[in-house]
Structure 1
Amino acid sequence: MQKKTEAERQAALKAERLAAKLRANLQRRKAQHRARREGAADDTDGLPAAGRQDKTTD
């Protein structure tokens, strides 16, 4: 049986991490799509969308 080099192990770990992130992103996008289809508001994890802010200065 052939041993993997450290670079090959690191590449395999990176591929696993990327695959996990891709699955999580896909699940999040599916949930957003279902929420939009049902008419519910989106739950965002990031920054809120930039909207108009009325600032009053006197």
Structure 2
Amino acid sequence: MGVTRLKRKDRRNKTVSRLEVQFLKLGRNIEQGSRSKESANSQLAKNNEVLAKIEAEAK
């Protein structure tokens, strides 16, 4: 039995779903664990610190 080619629609769905998964993985928050430990001087940490100060002043 020969290998069947995917129809254009199915090939597109395969590609789109692969890219979607990749996008979601990149957009996720940093997970808990030693390998994904966020450095203290990263921009995200600095932003969170500033936001925390603003929230504290607003209360």
TM-score by length of 2: 0.49
Q: Give the number of the structure with larger relative contact order, counting CA–CA contacts within 8 Å between residues 6 or more apart.
A: 1
Whichever structure has more helix as a proportion of its residues is 2
TM-score relative to the length of structure 1: 0.50
